[in-house]
Structure 1
Amino acid sequence: MTPADTSVLADFWVHDPFILANEPDRTYYLYTSSPDAPVVTVYRSADLRNWVGPTTVFTIPDGSWANPAESPWAPEVHEFEGRFYLFTTLHDSTHALPAASDGSSEFSARARDGRAYAPVARGTVIAVASSPLGPFELLHLDGPVAPREFMTLDGTLYVDESGRPWMVYAHEWVQILDGTIEAIRLDADLSRSVGSPIHLFRGSEAKLLRERTPSALSPVPYVTDGPQLRRLAGGGLLMLWATYRRAGSTAEYVETMAISRGGSLEGPWEQLDILVGGNAGHGMLFTTFEGVLMLVLHRGMGTPRVRAELFEVVEDESAGLRVVADRADLYA
């Protein structure tokens, strides 16, 4: 790879970034969806500054429940038991799902600008490959991991203290108005879900919402996006997640945090402060080959210019994480 072959993060579109630091080849793999085609792509780097790509690693196969013309969302790749597993969210907007209901009436989900949203088929799937470069093949064609009547997204892998794998995901506000973070057990080879989902917390529990006086103008809906988990050195279980901070008619995407201080996935979950604001979020953590803990997220949510940014962070057993350096030298 020569400088002429590479780009920096400021040069190319990235949404919902996920970086796999692959020690055997000392290469960072940055996974994202594509603005030009319904595929998952990857960029590669040896130094987090110079990136080569994109390379397509996943295409929605014929025979899948999902619409192959609708772009995957939030791809991430985890190494598990010697293989590489892609978690990504697929869609079928022609298939309607149940809306929020109190048993007798249905409730319409509307954004702050008044646009109505109807629940449609959406959910995270799992695909597998022998290499970070894929090609990834779906484990199952017949439906997503979470219950198919749920409208869900942004599934991520979590392995608990007993070595049991789970998928943690967001249940869409479009279907339930007050979005939630939920989890479902996976079997030992990640091929199927086991049992029923468990509830972790609601979007309306975000600490940032405590700043608002409760009223009929409270900012429904409550969005939950992009859960990511990390075991802290002191034993607590930290979750990054994204939501919106609203002021009047404006909305700002933010990266916030929650912690299960006892270390259990079931919680109880305590909501923490915003980690990064400024219309930035959907972050994840990785450790560099030099041992530095890094946060990658995207900025520019809802705009034509969505780019990945990098920050050095440190653990703080009380506050969860603290940003110690904006690494614009790597991404700008």
Structure 2
Amino acid sequence: MKQLITLLLFMLALQPLAYSQDRLSEIRENIPLDSIRLSDPCILADPETSMYYMTGTGALLWKSRDLKFWTGPFRVVETDPDSWMGPRPMIWAAELHQYKDKYYNFATFTNREVKIDMVKGNVIERRASHILVSDKAEGPYRSMEDPTYLPADKPTLDGTFWVDEDGKPYMVYCYEWLQNWDGTIERIELKPDLSGSVGESKLLFKASESPWSRERNENGDTIPNKVTDGPWLFRTQTGKLGMLWTSWVFGDYTQGVAYSESGTLDGPWIHDEKPFTPPNYGHGMLFRTFEGQLLMAVHSHWVGENGRYIRIPKLFEVDDSGDKLVLGQPFSGNEY
């Protein structure tokens, strides 16, 4: 019950962001990063324009030359009202990826008018990861030929992008715990132009396999947490394949890291014993600045006076020179 209440508060907190395309405010300039409210931040350093582009839940776009001051938000996503998403989908956890000669927007869309299941008294709405495409980093991003990438009867979210050792592109995503009651992270092959998926998905790991994410059941016993959230793939400079992903340590939203023993998506995936971030930071991603410094973008996760979550992007320095990531200090940006 506590987990469901937390989820409800989380969804209420996201609604203003998810629907922000419908009431977009005027474009603002020179906004400090810590003055932007944004869940699931993702930053693309675009060499074509020498600009940083940031998006996330709500799928609006911010841009910056120095990571310190930002201009936005811009509307960049165009959805088809006749598609499964409906006329006003909620949009979560948008990511920007440059691949070959195109830019791709991986995002989670929810059509709240379509109910696909009922589990333990909880209505499961139509939700899925999807990919949009553009010729430019700043969009507009539009759907491609395939109407769906993932099964319509499963709630999926937080899709991200990876090209594995076999040279094939993949979407890595979460199968939501609300239906299976033990969230998973899975992968599915994509077509060469990312316009659709190929074949069946494959399980990478379950939430319950983590040694660090924990919750208490109705009897007060400590058990593995059931949530998988926000996967992001990376390779260290030594070639080690790893994945950032987020869950909960009792009441704290927290991020961990897992590493693939085989060096491929198929794993097996071995989880670090302890979380990677401090409590109440999560849904991380990695990018390099134009100067070559590796940074991690996450969002804070605090409950404000009105009961809503306060989610603000924050950057941390990260060292990937060894076989494992090492978290550094918060990034100030003063050197830029």
Q: Which amino acid aligns with 1:8?
A: P
**Cα deviation digits, residues 184-227 of structure 1 (max 9, x gap):** 000111111111000000111112148999x8734465100000
| CA deviation vs aligned residue, 1:250-271 (integer Å, no higher than 9, x gap) | x110011100032011000000
Aligned with 1:223: secondary structure? coil
Is 1:324 aligned to residue 325 of structure 2? no
- The alpha carbon displacement at 1:236 in A equals 1.8
Contact residue 309 and residue 328 of structure 1 kept, 8 A: no
Judged with a 3 Å threshold, the aligned counterparts in structure 2 of structure 1 residues 281 and 153 are, in CA distance, closer, same or farther, namely same
Partner residue in 2 for 1:268: 268
Aligned pair count reads 301
Larger displacement relative to structure 2 (274-283 or 196-205)? 274-283
The verdict on how the C-alpha distance between 1:316 and 1:242 changes in structure 2, with shifts beyond 3 A counting, is farther
| Stretch of structure 1 that moved more, 52-61 or 76-85 | 52-61
* CA distance in 2 between partners of 1:301 and 1:174 (Å): 23
Among 231, 234, 239, which residue is 1:230 paired with? 234
Distance 1:220 1:69, change over 3 A: farther
> 2-side partners of 1:211 and 1:91: how far apart?
27
TM-score under structure 1 length normalisation: 0.85
Cα separation, 2, equivalents of 1:212 and 1:66 = 35
Task: Look up the equivalent residue of 1:78 and give its one-letter code.
Answer: H
In structure 1, the partner of 2:282 is: 281
Could you tell me which amino acid in structure 2 is paired with residue 254 of structure 1?
A: T
> Following superposition, which runs of at least 4 residues in structure 1 exceed 6 angstroms of deviation?
210-213
What residue is the counterpart of 1:30 in the other structure?
Answer: 54
Match of 2:301 in 1: 300
RMSD, matched Cα = 2.2
SS in 1 for 2:237: coil
Q: Which residue matches 2:23?
A: none
Structure 1 residues 274 and 221: CA distance shift in structure 2, 3 A: closer
Assess, with a 3 A threshold, how the Cα gap between structure 1 residues 140 and 301 changes in structure 2: closer, same or farther. Answer: farther
Q: Which residue of 2 aligns with 1:134?
A: 139
Structure 1 gap ranges (5+): 35-39, 100-106, 109-115
**Are positions 1:95 and 2:114 aligned together?**
yes
Quote how far apart the aligned CAs of 1:326 are.
1.1
SS at match of 1:119: strand
Cα distance between partner residues in 2 of 1:294 and 1:19: 10
Alignment of 1:140-159 (within 5 A): 140=145, 142-143=147-148, 145-159=149-163
Counterpart residue identity of residue 68, structure 1: P
Aligned partner of 2:204 among 184, 194, 200: 200
Q: Which amino acid aligns with 1:255?
A: Q
Rounded to whole Å, the distance in 2 between the matches of 1:301 and 1:171 is 25
| Residue of structure 2 in register with 1:314 after alignment | 319
**In 2, are the aligned partners of 1:97 and 1:149 still within 8 Å (CA)?**
yes
Identity %: 35
